[in-house]
Amino acid sequence: MSGRGGGVAASGAMAMRRAAIAIVVFVVLVAALFWLDPDGLYLWIKALHVIAVIAWMAGMLYLPRLFVYHADVLVGSLQSEMFKVMERRLLRAIINPAMVVSWVLGLWLAWSGFGLMGGWLHAKILLVLLLSGVHGYLSRAVRLFGEDRNTRPARHWRIVNEVPTVLMIGIVILVIVKPF
Ligand code: HEM
C-alpha cells in the first residue's frame, strides 16, 4: 500500500515537473515571438491562444467528469485517494496555467486587433468571465473533495459538466461568426 502511495507521489512529482517545463517552453515561445516581432505576429499569437484554450477546455470538461465518479466512491478508499491526486494535478498542471495563458493572449488579441471594441467581443468576454466563474467553482470543489467534504451527489456534477460545454459553444460562435 505504502509502496503504491510512493509510486503515485513520485509519478505525480514527475508529471508536475513535465507540466512546469511545458509552461516554461510556452512562455519562452511567446516572449521570443514578441521579441522577434515577425510579420504574422497576430496569427502566431492567435494560434497559441487557441492551443491554450483547447488545454483549458479539455481540463474544464474532464474535471467535473472525475467528480461524477469520485462522488460515488467511499471516503478513505484507495479510489478516492487516486481521484484526489488526479483532480489536484489536472487543476494545477493544466487548467490553471491554460486559463492564465488564454486570458493574457486573448486580451492582447482583443486590444491589438480590435482596440477592445465590438459587440461580439464584449459578449465573448462576458461568456469567458462566466467560464472563469465555473473554473473558480471547480477549484473550490477540488479543495472540498481533497478534504473529504463534498456533499453533492454525482447527478449534480453531471449537470455542472454541461455548463462549460454550453459556454464554449457560445464563445466559439461569437468569435468566428461575429454576429453583431
Ligand atoms: C480569456 C478571454 C478571451 C479573450 C479576450 C479572447 C479574445 C479573442 C480575440 C480578440 C480573438 C481574435 C479574433 C479574430 O482575429 O478574428 C480570439 C480568437 C479565438 N478565440 Fe478567444 N478570447 C478569449 C478566450 C477564449 C476562449 C475561452 C475560447 C474558447 C472556448 C476562445 C476561442 C477562440 C477561437 C476559436 C479563436 C480563433 C477565431 C478565428 O480565428 O476565427 N477564446 N479570441
Q: Which three cell numbers stand for residue 141?
A: 470543489
CA 177 to each of CA 50, 119, 171: distance values in angstroms, whole numbers, following the listed order: 16, 12, 10
Residue nearest ligand 1's atom 30 by CA: 168
Rounded to the nearest angstrom, the distance between the alpha carbon of 153 and the centre of ligand 1 is 34
In this predicted structure, the answer to whether residue 93 has a pLDDT above a threshold of 50 is: yes
In this predicted structure, the answer to whether residue 2 has a pLDDT above a threshold of 60 is: no
Rounded to the nearest angstrom, the distance between the alpha carbon of 176 and the centre of ligand 1 is 8
Instruction: Give the DSSP letter string of the chain.
Output: -HHHHHHHHHHHHHHHHHHHHHHHHHHHHHHHHHHH--TTHHHHHHHHHHHHHHHHHHHHHHHHHHHHHHTTSPTTSHHHHHHHHHHHHIIIIIIHHHHHHHHHHHHHHHHHHHTT--HHHHHHHHHHHHHHHHHHHHHHHHHHHHTT-----HHHHHHHHHHHHHHHHHHHHHHHH---
Rounded to the nearest angstrom, the distance between the alpha carbon of 106 and the centre of ligand 1 is 6
Q: What value does the mean pLDDT of the chain take?
A: 93
Rounded to the nearest angstrom, the distance between the alpha carbon of 172 and the centre of ligand 1 is 7
Q: What is the pLDDT of residue 49?
A: 97
pLDDT, tens digit (0-9, with 9 covering 90-100), for 6-61: 566 666 677 788 888 888 898 899 999 999 999 999 999 999 999 999 999 999 99
Average pLDDT over residues 74-100: 96
Look up cell 503515485; give the residue: 8
Ligand 1 pocket, CB under 6 A: 46, 49-50, 53, 57, 102-103, 106-107, 109-110, 113-114, 125, 128, 131, 168, 171-172, 175-176
- Cα 79 to Cα 100: distance, rounded to the nearest angstrom: 31
Rounded to the nearest angstrom, the distance between the alpha carbon of 16 and the centre of ligand 1 is 27
pLDDT over 90 percentage in the chain:
83
Rounded to the nearest angstrom, the distance between the alpha carbon of 32 and the centre of ligand 1 is 21
In this predicted structure, the answer to whether residue 109 has a pLDDT above a threshold of 50 is: yes
Residue nearest ligand 1's atom 6 by CA: 106
Q: Which domain holds residue 14?
A: 2-177
Q: What is the pLDDT of residue 165?
A: 97
**What ligand 1 atom has the least distance to the C-alpha of 167?**
30
Phi, psi of 43 (to 5 degrees): -70, -35
Counting the structural domains of the chain, the total is 1
Of residues 30 and 159, the one with the higher pLDDT is: 159
pLDDT, tens digit (0-9, with 9 covering 90-100), for 26-37: 889 999 999 999
